[in-house]
Chain A
Amino acid sequence: MFLASAKKLRSFGIIGMNQRNFGLISRYNPRHLYPLVDDKLKTKLLAQKAGITVPKLLGTLQYQHDVRLLKEILRPYDQFVIKPVKGSGGKGILVITEHDHNLYFKPSSDAIQLADIERHVSNILSGLHSLGGKPDTVMIESLIQLDPVFSDYSYEGIPDIRIIVLKGYPIMAMLRLTTHASDGKANLHQGAVGVGIDIGTGNALHAVQYGETVSHHPDTRKTFSELAIPHWDKLLQLAAACYEMTGLGYLGADLVLDRDQGPMIIELNARPGLSIQVANYAGLAPRVAIIEALNTIDPDPQLRAAFSKQQFSVDSGIHPPRLLHTRSGDPKP
């Protein structure tokens, strides 16, 4: 069977694109708040003001003639990330991990020259990666250092953690692992592995690549059953705090674990995708219903995170039986 029955999907509480656009995004996200998250520079400043750790800003470029300054800005750094401020879906992000004389090296150890970086920056400024082709700004950030916890689960890139936050309550989480196929990018469309994460514990639940179940990382061959995310409470609290920060009722917070600085927010998204449901093997609808049934919203992000932890833990029983439990010779229920 190539097609699922709509009835079954509905009974699992799977939310479709139309339902997401209509029932979540347009209901909870007022249009005028979009610039706060669509403009990564604004998000970064907001987060800093709220005391949330973000990658360090090394410099920005706003005009084409600034491109000449690029060499000066980059001189002190060996590692950096170049991003379009208004890019979406990870487009236009250039990661440099090594600098040797005239050559800059990408995580895949492809070497490029300064001229190539300048062209990339120029493209971003012209609006190639921004919505509607509007002129854009370039920001240069410090490179995030891979936390050793993920070193066995990641290939040429930094995994990030996507947490869906509804009205300030984290409701679903997913770890996105870079692979060779995804070219070091944490983008599921391009072949990154999505690992559903138990909100209650931070443990891996189930993993997919290209929409199909996988049990171990395709490049490092490490099984996911032993994967547990450290600092989980902190990550949940950071995500929950994004609600106060932006005012968006439905958002996707992208967080990373830095080896030295711990959990930090790299990006917020007002239109988070739906693949997280596949990675979690669970629908969003029942969790949305629980949050929507709440009469009051707790003003404290820590308490909200605690509520979510207790509500959406896999063991709390609102989920179908866990796949990892029924696998590898466990007694069948």
Chain B
Amino acid sequence: MYAKLRLYILVTLIMGLGIGLILYKHFALGFPLLPDDKKSVWTIEAKIDFTARGDPIIVSFALPQETPNTVFIEEDFASPDYGFSELTSPTGRRAQWSKRAASGSQTAYYRLSIYEIDPITTPPITADLPPEPVKPEFDEVHKTAAITLLDQVRSKSANTEIFTRELITTLNSSAPSQNQSLLLNEQSSEDYKTHLIINLLALEGISARIVRGLYLEDGRRRQSLTNFVEVYIGSQWLLFNQKSGDRGKPENFLVWQRGDQSLLDVVGGKNSQISFSIIKNVHSTRNLVVRDSMNKQAGLVDFSIYSLPIEQQNAFKMILLLPIGALIVVIMRLLIGIRTSGTFMPILIALALIQTTLLTGIIIFLTVVGTGLLIRSYLSRLNLLFVARISAVIIVVIAIIASISIISNKLGIDQAMTVTFFPMIILSWTIERMSVLWEEDGPREVFIQGGGSLLTAVIAYLFMTNRTIEYLTFNFPELMLVNLALILILGQYTGYRLSELYRFHSLERRDVSGKR
């Protein structure tokens, strides 16, 4: 009983570890559980144009910051003959291009690829209390208008959030009152309106700042940044759309820059312009996550199969499927009770079937084994020593395989050429054993065991070629632990095999009649 308890504890540990690692990879690292999981990757290109005057040039450009729900895949900076550096300051990252002298029209490019993820918990963006906003200077007329407007809005709102929303909607209303028209002025450019909102909020004693961002839409060119207002409410910054007053970050919106720093500074140039173009690509989530985790050096991924060269990875793709085959064999033998020739030969046949495709593989297998048995029966009359005979069978098998390849090539059946993927030594051994079985136990046993092997191989093949299983075994090698735990449990199974329900069925029948 003690041994049993120990085994169950072991099984629970292995199972727990395996499932735990899988869940960690899924939730913390973002590995999808299904192979078809796709994500949109946005590639944003910022193009900076300006005319140089022949003086030294410094171009400084604000760059976006990575957040918990956006992942930057790669960033490129391009501009011919310019020196480049990336500067990080508390207010944000900036790219700086510089050159001693240039003239004529100049262009600099910045390209960024990102995708969005859903982190398990969105950490609340808490921020320290900003300094009391400086009361803005308004001239007398504007000040009166502003105070009137603020009074009006304040009377309609209960807290800062509603106040802000109300203020923005009032400023955007289609039928503006006199005060609003006065404040908005004729020149209501985007930036002017943003600053007006910030100033009005400052007059009310509310801290606010400008946020510039980009709406991500596929195939857009010549886009510019959109202004948002971020307001400090209850120890965090909340984002407001300055056109609608809606709170929160809209979908597919990339925050580019926060605060009042300029987006672009060009020293030594004029007519500077910036435009963005956006392209959407769909990538498999798994590839993105693997690349990202490798970049971040997440231990679980860094010390994994992904760190191997591609060729070895492909080999492992196959190797990691073997435990699935082993599980199938265990189930077939212990639960179903199917007899196979050679314990794990079915797995090897299944591996060959993966290379040849199912139907071709089965036909080739039957042809090779059938022909082999015929020739083997002749060899048995030659009175050979055992080792010599099985070696002869190996050569015969190779000859059969070669002929199948050549004949099928001549006939134009390409699939049959894959015959070389069958493990020849194993095939020879199978032929030898089946031949002996035939002599000793008769053809019936040969068909039972041969059929059992083939059936097990086909079932293992179906599981091993399942896209989802293939994906899971390769990307979650921890699954092997779960598999191991299952096999350990199955190793404890002492109930009847399905085949025994048939084997002993006569007992049941007679009992019923006996009782009658």
Contact = CB atoms under 8 A, between A and B. Distances in A.
Interface string A265-309: 000000000100110010000000000000000000000000000
Contacts of A18: 334, 493-497
A77 interface: no
Given A4-B505, A126-B386, A278-B507, 15 more contacts: A1-B505, A2-B505, A3-B502, A4-B502, A6-B495, A9-B500, A18-B493, A18-B494, A19-B495, A115-B383, A122-B386, A126-B387, A128-B436, A274-B500, A281-B510
Contact of B503 (A6, A22, A211): A211
Interface string A55-80: 00000000010000000000000000
A115 B384 CA distance: 11
**What does DSSP make chain B's interface, helix, strand, loop or mixed?**
helix
B442 interface: yes
Contacts of B504: 4, 9, 14, 277-278
A127 B429 CA distance: 13
Nearest to A91: B440
B511 interface: yes
16 contacts: A4-B508, A9-B501, A12-B511, A14-B500, A14-B507, A16-B497, A17-B500, A23-B494, A122-B385, A127-B386, A128-B386, A208-B506, A278-B507, A321-B515, A323-B510, A323-B514
Interface string B357-400: 00000000000000000000000000101110000000000000
Contacts of B507: 4, 9, 12, 14, 277-278, 281
B492 interface: yes
Contacts of A323: 510, 514
A278 B506 contact: yes
Size bin of chain B's contact surface: 20 to 34
Contact of B514 (A16, A17, A115, A326): A326
Contact of A9 (B385, B386, B492, B508): B508
A189 B441 contact: yes
A94 to B, nearest CB: 11
Interface of A: 1-6, 8-10, 12, 14, 16-19, 22-23, 64, 91-92, 115, 118-119, 122-123, 125-129, 189-190, 208, 211-213, 274, 277-278, 281, 320-321, 323, 326
B442 A190 contact: yes
B35 interface: no
B445 interface: yes
Nearest to A90: B440
B410 interface: no
Contacts of B510: 213, 281, 323
B511 A8 contact: yes
Nearest to A64: B385
Interface in B459-514: 492-498, 500-511, 514
Contacts of A10: 496
Nearest to B508: A4
Contacts of A211: 503, 506
Contacts, number: 100
Contact of B506 (A126, A190, A212): A212
Interface of B: 334, 337, 383, 385-387, 436, 440-442, 445, 492-498, 500-511, 514-515
Contacts of B515: 321
Nearest to B512: A8
A71 to B, nearest CB: 15
Given A278-B507, A323-B514, A6 B383 contact: no
Contacts of B502: 2-4
Q: Please list the 5 inter-chain residue pairs (A to B) with the smallest Cβ-Cβ separation, ordered nearest first.
A: A126-B386, A4-B508, A16-B496, A19-B494, A3-B501
A213 B513 CA distance: 13
Give the interface centre of A16, A208, A278 by most chain B CB atoms within 10 Å: A16
Given A3-B502, A17-B497, A190-B442, A22 B511 contact: no
A48 B438 CA distance: 36
Nearest to B499: A17
Nearest to B511: A320
B497 A119 contact: no
A288 B337 CA distance: 23
A224 B111 CA distance: 93
Contacts of B509: 1, 4
B383 A17 contact: no
A189 B387 CA distance: 28
Give the interface centre of A3, A6, A189 by most chain B CB atoms within 10 Å: A3
Given A4-B505, A211-B506, A190 B441 contact: yes
Contact of B492 (A1, A17, A22): A22
B390 to A, nearest CB: 9
A9 B509 CA distance: 11
Contacts of A23: 494
Contacts of A190: 441-442
A118 B515 CA distance: 56
A19 B500 CA distance: 12
A16 B495 contact: yes
Nearest to A122: B385
B500 A16 contact: yes
A123 B388 CA distance: 11
B508 to A, nearest CB: 4
Give the interface centre of A10, A18, A23, A281 by most chain B CB atoms within 10 Å: A18
A125 B389 CA distance: 14
A41 B508 CA distance: 41
Contacts of A189: 441, 445
B499 to A, nearest CB: 9
Nearest to B381: A119
